[in-house]
Amino acid sequence: MASLLSSPSWGQLQPSPSSFHIAIIDGQGALNNVEGRLAREPIVQVEDKNHKRVPGAYVEFDTPNAPGQPGAQFADGSSKFVATTNAAGQAVASGLKNNGVTGKFDIHVTVHYQGQVVGTAVIHQVNICKKVASVSRNLEHNPGGDQTAPPLAPGMAGVAVGANMLVNGSSVPGNANLTNGARLQTLNTPVKIFLGNQCQFLMGPNSAASVNSGALVLEKGAARSEPFGNCSIDSHGLKVLGEDPNAEGAVRIANGNLEVGAVSGNVRVLDAKGALKSVVNPCTAAAFALLTGGSAGAAGNGLLYVGLAGALAGLGVAVDAISQKGSTSP
């Protein structure tokens, strides 16, 4: 390592650390299934002040791997890996594997160029169980754009960041300010949503929701909190929120079912009246079957909840059957 990171000769110009930009291309927010022990390999990109790619920089990835704590390691069993940026200015932490312990962890990145540190970054990942992975698939890929929380403009409920999206039916590339009640639709890539109260959400591809200052109201598709903060994911008469602001969860509407998984920390599920229906613990998931139309309109919220009758048994997902007065099961 010392020979790789040695100081430059007197004839070389010392780089200014402030003139470099370190971008996380992949691996941010990854959900690693502990069953397979695989982990999303982080990719970072190094650019100079003119946004030109910088080849030949040394990028050190440092992962936690303490016994009994969530983390990862590389193919040789170590917690450190050094890669050199290629012609595109990118470096990959090859061979990363999760350590089989569920929970959140950070990968620390340090970039060296011509003998000095020119930038650092932190990549957040989560090790999850198979049950949660079944609910949260398609919610681990990085959306495009800056992923740091921006300040909210006056009167705005939130900000959406992604490669492309529809806001109130209009195409918006890059990012968009969201007013209360704005309807957001994702296309083929995820979109990150920042609300007030330290609330961050990731909407999966081909999903739709409306937003307000305290909730993401999911209409179709899937969403994940990163974390809940003091907000919730509302959907079809149910409210999903964390027991504490740092909790993370995933909600997915699929085949007429509402599935809820706890990514990190305990996740609470409330009914339309605010009564506690269940607490979903880490490494577990619950499902609610939703039926619309017919006699469901008499239920008061346009929905009829029915038992899943073991439909998700193959995934090991717990089923919560909710009956409503006057409704019938199919």
Mean predicted lDDT score pLDDT of the chain: 82
pTM: 0.77
Report d(CA 208, CA 220) in Å as an integer: 5
- What is the Cα–Cα distance from 207 to 215, expressed in whole angstroms? 16
pLDDT bracket for residue 141 (50, 70, 90):
low
Q: Is the pLDDT of residue 146 over 80?
A: no
Q: Is the pLDDT of residue 110 over 80?
A: yes
H/E element, 130? helix 130-136
The model's confidence at residue 315, banded by pLDDT at 50, 70 and 90, is: very low
Alpha helices in 212-297 (DSSP H): none
What would the pLDDT profile of 231-282 be if each residue is shown by its tens digit? 999 998 899 999 999 999 999 998 888 999 999 999 999 998 999 999 999 9
pLDDT tens digits along 149-165? 677 778 889 999 888 89
Map out the domains of the chain with their CATH numbers: 17-128 (2.60.40.2550), 158-319 (2.60.120.1440)
